Chain A
Amino acid sequence: MVKLSLGGCFARYDGRAFTQSGRNLWSSQMVFGYIDAGSGSMVIQALIAAAAAVPFFFRRQISRVFAAVRRDDQPKDRARR
């Protein structure tokens, strides 16, 4: 049994199937559409999203910092000109 924790999303892989635990993982809302979303696809999507979220938010924060620095620099550049 392997237990993965990806950004607060818990999943167990028992050699045959991914299973999930944690009360916050499950929604009581009806989310299915007219096409078969696939139960395996739903589970793996949540795991991949959790794994991808870490570098995604990290990159976003870095780009925000760079954008803020650029904004701070612009008035100075204009003043120099």
Chain B
Amino acid sequence: MTLRAGVTPGADRDSVPTRDPASFRDPSGLVYRRDGTLYRQINQTSADDWQRLHSSGLYAELVGRGWLLEHEDAPLTERFDDLAWRVVRPVEVGFIGYPYEWTFGQLKDAALLTLDIQSAALRVGMQLKDASAYNVQFHAGRPVLIDGLSLARAPDDAPWVAYRQFCQHFLAPLTLMAQRDVRLGVMLRDFIDGIPLDLAAGLLPASSRLRFGLASHLHLHARAQRTHAGNGASSGQPPKLSRGRLEALLDSLRGAVDGLRWQPAGTEWAEYGETTSYSPAAAADKVRLVRELLGRTDGRWVWDLGANTGYFSRLASDLGRQVLALDGDAAAAERHYRYLREIGSSSVLPLVMDLANPSPALGWAGTERRSLFERANADVLMALALVHHLAIGNNVPLPMLSSFFARLGSQLIVEFVPKSDPRVTAMLASRQDVFTDYSLEGFRAAFAADWEAVEEQPVTDSERVLFLFRRR
């Protein structure tokens, strides 16, 4: 959903631009679409900062390093309103993911990128005036800053205005994930401007106070916030901070972030790839069939639902597709991300997503951060060894599962796993079997409402069946 422009659009154009619903906090410009094209407007008030970004060589350096999203100039006639000084067309990110959907490693890499950019900016007398994790996206396999307007002139001897935001958006969630429980990353869903430091400090183990970086940037910081709360103007002018000390602060933050470690192991799904119950013949046949079925689909984007550590995502990637790999298990998704980073993959984006509770629309007016459905761009969905987890593990009736998939994509490769399969038998071992419709016939009937079956293939040496569907 997009918001209509609230002011007079560029007088030279008839088409009405629509503001990106997340682009409203910073008065120095905005992001919008006109006739389907993405634009960024730089307002007159930010002309100096924008010129300095380019004349200082910082833009070229950051783009050259792959740290900042590139843009090209667009005619001023494409402006959103008359506050415009310049209009640019940024490169579009394939899929917008949010920090509460990132793995631990993704959030950590985004944090380190933010600090690297701040250091580079300081060298030319500029700074990141905000350090929102939402200004970072994963593009072509790497984190990249998408908001060039975040870079502004740094007043002499001024502290970093985005220090608080950095600690709330990055350091607090990363520390909670590393030192308490990785699942606490989902707190970023509720705390849209980062996790309050007093809350993080209260949840962290006492041992976190033994490390200088965490004791100072989180615990002491939380205390200082509490004691100075409401001071406002009465606290006087901000403290003076030399460039050398700012560098020391950034170095300290980098050390604190870099020192946070988490090993993705021990969960059921992180180990699943190695302990799967397929026979070698069945596993090989499934790979062959999925590759064949993928070859019969068209479109650029494949969503691998329940991707685990990404074996089948890479199969799609090898066929030249862009892949969004979703899995609810933080350890499996983290292992997937680390592998992709190691091989330098640019075509697969892993995200943590519980499909039984997918990301809702969040933020201001419920439109600032879009739901998974609002971001659906899948040409092909893969749901391999997933249906039984949703249908039996989460009691989702098969017709509801069918319509769920139909909201996300128009082609579907799906695997049906019958009750006689050892994994389903294990799921039913400690509960009443209330799933009377859960059978191959019931599956075909339920999915026929939304999908046309193109192909049905049994997997050799197993009772599993693969389907290729097209949405009706």
Cβ–Cβ < 8 Å partners of A29 in chain B: 155-158
A79 to B200, CA, bound (A): 58
The reply to whether A53 and B244 form a contact with Cβ atoms under 8 Å apart is yes
Cβ–Cβ < 8 Å partners of B246 in chain A: 49
Q: Does A68 contact B (CB under 8 A)?
A: no
Known: A33-B152, A35-B130. A53 touches B248 (CB 8 A): yes
Cβ–Cβ < 8 Å partners of B227 in chain A: 16-18, 40
Cβ–Cβ < 8 Å partners of B164 in chain A: 36-38, 41
- Number of B interface residues, CB 8 Å? 46
A52 to B92, CA, bound (A): 39
Q: Does A74 contact B (CB under 8 A)?
A: no
Cβ–Cβ < 8 Å partners of B228 in chain A: 17-18, 38-40, 43
Q: Does A42 contact B (CB under 8 A)?
A: yes
Smallest CB-CB separation from B156: which chain A residue? A29
Encoded as 1 (CB less than 8 Å from any A CB) or 0, chain B from 122 to 146 comes to 0000000110000000000000000
The reply to whether B130 and A33 form a contact with Cβ atoms under 8 Å apart is yes
The reply to whether B159 and A34 form a contact with Cβ atoms under 8 Å apart is no
The minimal Cβ–Cβ distance linking B320 to chain A, given in whole angstroms, is 41
Cβ–Cβ < 8 Å partners of B156 in chain A: 27, 29
Query: With contacts A40-B227, A45-B160, A52-B216 known, what are 5 further pairs, Cβ within 8 A?
Result: A17-B228, A29-B157, A37-B163, A41-B163, A42-B163
A7 to B229, CA, bound (A): 26
- Number of A interface residues, CB 8 Å? 38
The minimal Cβ–Cβ distance linking B222 to chain A, given in whole angstroms, is 9
The minimal Cβ–Cβ distance linking B220 to chain A, given in whole angstroms, is 6
Cβ–Cβ < 8 Å partners of B119 in chain A: none
Chosen A-B contacts, 30 in total, with CB atoms closer than 8 Å, are A9-B239, A18-B228, A26-B237, A26-B240, A27-B155, A29-B155, A29-B158, A31-B238, A32-B161, A33-B162, A34-B26, A34-B28, A37-B159, A38-B228, A39-B231, A41-B163, A41-B164, A41-B167, A41-B225, A42-B159, A42-B163, A42-B238, A43-B224, A45-B160, A45-B249, A46-B240, A48-B220, A48-B252, A52-B216, A52-B251
Q: Does B297 contact A (CB under 8 A)?
A: no
Q: Does B471 contact A (CB under 8 A)?
A: no
The reply to whether B231 and A41 form a contact with Cβ atoms under 8 Å apart is no
Q: Does B247 contact A (CB under 8 A)?
A: yes
Cβ–Cβ < 8 Å partners of B224 in chain A: 18, 40-41, 43-44
Cβ–Cβ < 8 Å partners of B232 in chain A: 39
Interface residues of A (CB under 8 A from B): 7, 9, 16-18, 20, 24-53, 56-57
Cβ–Cβ < 8 Å partners of A44 in chain B: 216, 220-221, 224-225
The reply to whether A56 and B248 form a contact with Cβ atoms under 8 Å apart is yes
Q: Does B19 contact A (CB under 8 A)?
A: no
A26 to B238, CA, bound (A): 6
A65 to B155, CA, bound (A): 32
* Partner of B237 from A27, A33, A34, A45 at Cβ < 8 Å: A27
The minimal Cβ–Cβ distance linking B53 to chain A, given in whole angstroms, is 15
Q: Does B226 contact A (CB under 8 A)?
A: yes
Which has the most chain A C-beta neighbours within 10 Å: B129, B227, B244?
B227
The reply to whether A33 and B239 form a contact with Cβ atoms under 8 Å apart is no
A59 to B227, CA, bound (A): 33
The reply to whether A40 and B225 form a contact with Cβ atoms under 8 Å apart is yes
The reply to whether A49 and B130 form a contact with Cβ atoms under 8 Å apart is no
Which has the most chain A C-beta neighbours within 10 Å: B130, B217, B228?
B228
Smallest CB-CB separation from A16: which chain B residue? B227
Cβ–Cβ < 8 Å partners of B247 in chain A: 56
The minimal Cβ–Cβ distance linking A37 to chain B, given in whole angstroms, is 4
A57 to B246, CA, bound (A): 12
Smallest CB-CB separation from A55: which chain B residue? B248
Known: A35-B161, A43-B228. A20 touches B239 (CB 8 A): yes
Cβ–Cβ < 8 Å partners of A56 in chain B: 247-248, 251-252
A18 to B226, CA, bound (A): 11
The reply to whether B249 and A49 form a contact with Cβ atoms under 8 Å apart is yes
